Structure 1
Amino acid sequence: MSKSLKLYIAILVLLIAGLIAVEFSIPTPVSWNPTYNEDHKIPYGTFVFFEELDNLFPESKVQSIKVTPYEYFDDYYDWENDTYLTTGTYMLIDDYPNLDDTSAQELMDFASYGNDIFISSSYFPDRLMDSLQFDTKNDYSFDGVANVSLSNPVFKNDSITIDRDLSNIYFSSVDTLYTTVLGYQKFTDSLRTNFIKVPWGDGQFFLHLQPIAFTNYNMLKKSNHKYASSVMSYLGDDTIYFDSRNKVGQDLNRSPLRYIFSQPPLKWAWYMALITVVLFMIFNAKRKQRIVTIKEPIKNTTVEFTKTIGNLYYETKDHNNLIDKKITYFLEYIRRVYYLDTQILDEKFAKHLATKSGKDVSDVKKLINQIVYLKAKSDCNEDDLLRLNKAIEDFYTT
């Protein structure tokens, strides 16, 4: 090893040691990132609220949901008896929830059997907004301070003031025939609705804006916890299904470098070491790089094979065989994606498939009837094949 290289390594080691010393001497700043994570004790986590759920609902069990609502509640649905095997209240507190239309439909199904759904958020899925007939609007002209209160006079002393990191999103329209207004938010002189109750089937939806009210910062400020307690009083004392931010597959970083990346000094030292190694390899490779042998890529014969098989079926006009294969593949798709038994293709099966897939019931029944007819038909023609193919493609795409 040359003297110059030793000198460079020594300078690099001293530089990294100096950066580490500087970083450790700086106090860790408070993170104001709104995570809404029940494990986070930072100002905008929900650790305090989550810990208080046992006191707010002493007769209930708090169950964290670490998968999507569809994945969780669908496993509890009894298809034979057409009912859910569990009851309780689904709870979600998140400014930007990852709630797709499929999970929203599952929550509506769960509520229709007499359960409660509580969502505190700034944005809701289109499926909920269309079905429950409400809309929201964001008024950007506000001074950043709001008074949040409940409409019931019993809770008139539980109003709170939120002074930072809130939005002026409010319910701009609701179905006045069925919707009950439970709370308001006031910016300057504008009183807007921010908490509503909407019945759905035998259950109810409680929709709340300003999820920031349930964060650690606001829960520990003065007597703000009374507001959260009053909001929760509308919910039944049954099992609480708390939609966790810590989803399965997302909560743990299993990289062997996870500790290094969790410490800013070590992270920057790692980056500097990588940059140094890359620069060394670039400058050193100029003299030591060997001639790279050019290798022809392996030909992809999949397309030619597919064309050959397609021409073979086309020339033989074996429509029955093609129809049988398309039906077999389609039923396997249903078993794999929707976990339905395809041995009996009757009206009950069509109804379950429509419910699971979100398709129109009449379209699904037509498709299933067409499959049953073609399976029984001994001499299928090209028109039968084309109609079946179009019906299956419409099911995949619509």
Structure 2
Amino acid sequence: MQIKNVFKILSVKKSTFILSTYNIRLGDFKVQKIVPITILMLSIFLLLTSCNKTNWIENFREKEKSPFGTYIVYNEAQELFKNEEVVFLRDNFYDYLFKNYDSINGDFGNYICIKHNANKLPIDGITDLLSFVNDGNTAFLALNYFNKNLLEQLDFTTNNLDKEVYSINDLRPLKGEFYLNDNRFKKDTFKFDRNIRRHYFVTYNEDKTIVLGSSKIDGEKVPNFIKIYHGKGAIYLHANPVVFTNYYLLKDTEKYTEHVLSYLPSSTLLWDPQIKYSNYSNNREDNQQSIFKFFLEHQTLTWFLFVGLAGVLLFMLFNARRKQRAIPVIHPLKNTTVAFTQTIASLYLKEQNHKNLVDKKITFFLEKVRTKYLLNTNNLNKEFIHNLALKSGNEIRNTKYLVNTIITLHKKSECTQEELLVLHKMIANFFKN
């Protein structure tokens, strides 16, 4: 499905005053003066009252016409997916499937959710969504934050270098360049001038995942749009939902949205605005509110709740004054070894001094050989390699390769990150036996 020129119909209509010319034969020139002055005053009043402060908060709300609302893509879904039924969910997706899944026989179509996070989709909802996809349907999730349960079940991880950035002023300088891997769009570069968090996919199961798009971060292209096959269906994941908001759909970047959504198959569409929590899930996050609702639905429990609260208040009132001096809590000394180690590791990582780390790994290895196998490490000759292989239970070939690597890296003045990783893995594998 290829969607073309969808957003051209969203051009802004400007209100205009149409003035008619009248021939006044009464000779009263004052009447001719009043009409332009009245129109001028009315125009100034409308201009002043229409100047509202722009809301730059990322709300992703379908009814918001602010820059980072999703009013346009939400209301133009029918135009985006022509000849297809679009169902705007008024209930939680889990509840919708709970009530309708038997009637749709598991073959319904596409599910779309464009939000900061899908926090109103409970764990049961995630499971049902994946079952929905497994039956041959499709899901499209564009989120800044992916649920931990979803990460585990689909076997992928993400990284957000700007996860601590929330203020409008801090988000504004964040720019980005996006690319699509399809041959039709491979030569196109889509540039976005603000609010582009450096959010991307780090690991994923390559056997069932296709990278459809990427973004450039620090000069390197990293995946930010992927397709994961799940059962008979597939789920599309996008790491930058802000590109689907009103701001970018009216800023000559609507082609990107058009191309991304064109990957979805032609089928009925379930658009999830995330407006309600589930009424049926046992593990939804607002269960604490439902407990009080249950108490208030029964008169006896309601009286019990009020009497209990009154008793607690009376207890607090009569015991407000302390009967004895408060005993200060003396906390034991904290073990900061792990924090210290993390600080030192961060320092080495920042300095990129791989040679220093290589020398320390070699020192660690030789010290462990001396203490564990009681061998002299002053001369790393053939006899040392033979004795070390016998005592450690490793093959002579692997032991010789490890010792020669240690000698080579020790003589070098500089080492690369790859050489450090190879040495680390070799030492780890050596001590496993």
Corresponding residue of 1:177: 207
2:260 to 206, 211, 231: 231
Please say if residues 199 and 205 of structure 1, whose CA atoms lie closer than 8 Å, have aligned partners that are also in contact.
yes
Offset, 1:187: 2.7
Corresponding residue of 2:77: 53
Residue type of the partner of 1:175?
N
1:168 to 175, 198, 208: 198
The question of 1:88 aligning with 2:109 is answered yes
2:226 to 178, 192, 196: 196
Let me know the Cα RMSD of the aligned residues. Answer: 2.9
Partner of 1:95, secondary structure, is coil
Residue type of the partner of 1:228?
T
Larger radius of gyration: 2
- Structure 1 distance, partners of 2:274, 2:237, is 19
- Structure 2 distance, partners of 1:182, 1:196, is 5
- Structure 2 distance, partners of 1:161, 1:298, is 62
Partner of 2:65, secondary structure, is coil
Corresponding residue of 1:68: 92
Change (3 A) 1:299 1:123: closer
Residue type of the partner of 1:29?
K
TM-score (ref. length: structure 1): 0.53
TM-score (ref. length: structure 2): 0.49
Corresponding residue of 2:378: none
Gaps of 5+ in 1: 1-23, 250-296, 301-398
Equivalences for residues 89-108 of structure 1 within 5 A: 89-98=110-119, 99-108=121-130
Residue type of the partner of 1:43?
P
Corresponding residue of 1:35: 59
Please say if residues 175 and 195 of structure 2, whose CA atoms lie closer than 8 Å, have aligned partners that are also in contact.
no
- Structure 2 distance, partners of 1:189, 1:299, is 63
Change (3 A) 1:32 1:178: same
1:138 to 147, 150, 160: 160
Partner of 1:78, secondary structure, is helix
Change (3 A) 1:170 1:298: closer
Residue type of the partner of 1:173?
T
- Structure 2 distance, partners of 1:127, 1:51, is 31
Offset, 1:173: 0.5
Offset, 1:158: 4.7
Please say if residues 134 and 232 of structure 2, whose CA atoms lie closer than 8 Å, have aligned partners that are also in contact.
yes
- Structure 1 distance, partners of 2:221, 2:85, is 36
Please say if residues 106 and 135 of structure 2, whose CA atoms lie closer than 8 Å, have aligned partners that are also in contact.
no
Change (3 A) 1:182 1:29: same
Equivalences for residues 235-246 of structure 1 within 5 A: 235-246=264-275
Partner of 1:106, secondary structure, is helix
Residue type of the partner of 2:246?
N
- Structure 1 distance, partners of 2:115, 2:203, is 22
Corresponding residue of 1:343: none
Please say if residues 185 and 194 of structure 1, whose CA atoms lie closer than 8 Å, have aligned partners that are also in contact.
yes
Offset, 1:129: 0.8
Offset, 1:36: 1.0
Q: Percent identity?
A: 30
Residue type of the partner of 1:215?
T
Please say if residues 118 and 205 of structure 1, whose CA atoms lie closer than 8 Å, have aligned partners that are also in contact.
yes
Change (3 A) 1:248 1:136: closer
Please say if residues 158 and 230 of structure 1, whose CA atoms lie closer than 8 Å, have aligned partners that are also in contact.
no
- Structure 1 distance, partners of 2:63, 2:153, is 33
Residue type of the partner of 1:237?
S
Offset, 1:169: 1.2
